[in-house]
Structure 1
Amino acid sequence: MYRKISAILIPTLIAVGIIAYMLYHVWDELITALQHIVPVYLVIAILVCLTAWWLRGWRYHRILLGLNYRIGVTFSMACVFVSQTVNLIVPARLGDFVRIFILKHDYQTTYSEGISSIVVERVFDIIAIAILGAASLFFIPNLPSWLNLYIYIMIAILAVGFAFFIFLIFVGELTSTNKYVRYILTMLDEIRRASLSLSSILILGISSMVIWMLDILVCNSVAMMFEQQIPFAVIILAIVLGNLVKAVPITPGGIGTYELIVSATFAITGVSPGVAFLIAVIDDLIKNLVTLAGGIVSIYYLGDWVIPTIKSALWTKLDGGEKPDT
């Protein structure tokens, strides 16, 4: 019980602490910036965010199709919505386990197929944001030295990503008598089937790039809402770095750490700390609220059984393996 409480409470306190610290230092600037917003860009940001979510559902539908499961776009989008909503509440992206249980409940997929589908989604996401981040660097002069680490990380991600695809080409030749190794080989074969054909690479690669461009456009709309003309390349870099930080499960949904890195990146263009922080907060708030709303609607769409499934999926991860009474 204490393990479950601390696993959620400690990361949440870290997120609150980061946000509170930043608010304390830029409060006066925030009040001034809020008095000069252009509301129409808020509506645009929300519509763009919703479009990105539909495309995420369509992409997941295509991934599952590669595993020979004909699952509708609406159901696929609901799966992603629910898992990402749980990720807003608990750390370490444990919400992804919920998606595996949902697929098994409605379509009798195996656990390995559920995990494989998420791995494919994550690999294309990571490669897409690394490509966008690397490309943005060519359009940003005089990069501060603190960004060097992230440049190396993006280069490493691209190298590992392409090496992974090359490895998948040869994984079909591998066999083993060990049941655990066989399970891993089965997953790798599923990943290969879902992602390694020419059509899959093109469809999933292009759709992933568009998804992240839409994510970037949400932030761009928020910047325009506060009448800030931030170079588009800097916005791309900020969103890329923010999501790289999110990938490290320090806080639920990366709240706090995301705002910190995004606002710090905006600051290299001379945007005041208060306005930079406000843009980062509103950008993340829009995305999280759309995710939360979509998750709630998706739970009703999928059925009442989803709530106990979420509890069952998370309990073993947070509380040592005992399943709660339901």
Structure 2
Amino acid sequence: MSEKPSSNASRYWKLIPGLLISAFFLWRTLRGFHLDELRDVHFGHPVWILGVLGFISVDYGLRSYRWWLMLRRYNARLTACFRVLMTSLAANNILPFRIGDFLRIFAYAPDVNASSSAVLSTVVLERLLDTVMLLGFFAVAASGLESSFAAFSFHGYGVAQTVRLVLVILVFCLGLLLFGTHILHLLVQKLVARYGNHPRTRKFGEWAEQLFDAIVHIPYPVRFLLVLLTSIVWLCEGMVFYSTAQLLGLNTFHGSMLASILSNLSFMLPSAPGGIGPFEAFGKLAMESQGVPTSLAILYALFVHFVIFMLVNIVGGIGFLINRKEHGGKTLSQEIHSLPPEADLL
């Protein structure tokens, strides 16, 4: 049965808010850019290209290994985890609505010998680990920088203070999830038993059961390892930003790390595919907070995003070609249209 025109129209309407947000942040980013100010750019030693390539390889290699640890009980292959993860990240960069995540959960779950619900649980756990770690890094990096983010204070509470409060809450919740799973499981069961008549409550209960099931099968030492790997992943990500800064002759370790943290946290905002707009705006803000001139900060934010975008998409594109061969030659469009109704993408 063919799709109704109104359904197609609704898809395009859903794109508009993200595009507007991206346009706003791009405008904010490019304000104050003066080409003549870039005449003083002194490019760093080309050896930093190896730094970019090396750190980004370790970064995404460890992300794949971390995901493989979560799926190890399903006899998933590490190479398959790497291929599927990179393909999904590349798809997120070029397609709206984070379709890459849905492809990983639904279309590519058989590639890692797991069910879609199992893969969904690991994706949720990944997001929790990454968010808590990034906020932890930001709480450290933003210390002493309240004046740089004064415009973002709220009723006397500065950015760093707010982040620390949120971080404490999230660390407690993540710690309870990873190391007090049975306690949290009992609490959720009581909640569902009391309010289970509501469809959303039942859905929440089903989702929670899948997440708890994924975690209880992970040995405690491996749970500690997941936290450790997450910290190394984001340290490597920060070093990718620092190496890129060195290529542009910007020797600011603190600014690079802060740019890495803020730019990646900006993905939590709705925007165009790839986080275009918010990524650059927050990268620029971080570098300006360290005294980098506005035009150089803009150039840096644009350049680092371009470098990461291209490297991830090249590797992810190769992964997709391998996926296509293993999935009987399906095109990307066919993969998307083969997703089940519960994906509810568009």
Q: TM-score, normalised by structure 2?
A: 0.80
- Asked if the contact 1:4/1:318 (under 8 Å) is kept, the reply is no
- Asked if the contact 1:259/1:280 (under 8 Å) is kept, the reply is yes
Give the drift of 1:314.
9.0
Query: Which among 164, 169, 180 is matched to residue 159 of structure 1?
Result: 169
Query: Which among 299, 309, 315 is matched to residue 335 of structure 2?
Result: 309
Gaps of 5+ in 1: 320-326
- Asked if the contact 1:84/1:96 (under 8 Å) is kept, the reply is yes
* 2:140 is aligned with 1:130: no
- Asked if the contact 1:63/1:120 (under 8 Å) is kept, the reply is no
* 2:255 is aligned with 1:234: yes
Gaps of 5+ in 2: 1-7, 197-201
1:49-128 matched pairs, under 5 angstroms: 49-65=56-72, 68-128=73-133
Query: Which among 10, 14, 22 is matched to residue 7 of structure 1?
Result: 14
- Asked if the contact 2:88/2:101 (under 8 Å) is kept, the reply is yes
- Asked if the contact 1:94/1:314 (under 8 Å) is kept, the reply is no
1:262-277 matched pairs, under 5 angstroms: 262-277=283-298
* 2:52 is aligned with 1:45: yes
Residue 286 (structure 1) aligns with: 307
State how far apart, in whole Å, the 2-side matches of 1:280 and 1:235 are. Answer: 10
Return closer, same or farther for 1:97/1:158 CA change in 2, 3 Å cut-off: farther
1:175-190 matched pairs, under 5 angstroms: 180=203, 182-190=205-213
- Asked if the contact 1:130/1:155 (under 8 Å) is kept, the reply is no
Farther-moved stretch of structure 1 (73-82 vs 299-308)? 299-308
State how far apart, in whole Å, the 1-side matches of 2:284 and 2:47 are. Answer: 22
**Computing the radius of gyration over CA atoms, which structure comes out larger, 1 or 2?**
2
Q: Which amino acid aligns with 1:218?
A: V
Q: Which amino acid aligns with 1:251?
A: A
Q: Which amino acid aligns with 1:235?
A: S
Give the drift of 1:83.
1.2
Residue 215 (structure 2) aligns with: 192
Equivalent residue of 2:283, what SS?
helix
- Asked if the contact 2:43/2:246 (under 8 Å) is kept, the reply is no
* 2:272 is aligned with 1:251: yes
Instruction: Report the identity percentage.
Output: 19
Give the drift of 1:303.
2.8
- Asked if the contact 1:59/1:204 (under 8 Å) is kept, the reply is yes
Q: Which amino acid aligns with 1:192?
A: I
Give the drift of 1:290.
1.2
State how far apart, in whole Å, the 2-side matches of 1:28 and 1:129 are. Answer: 33
Q: How many pairs align?
A: 315
Give the drift of 1:289.
0.8
Q: TM-score, normalised by structure 1?
A: 0.84
Farther-moved stretch of structure 1 (2-11 vs 254-263)? 2-11
Equivalent residue of 1:26, what SS?
coil
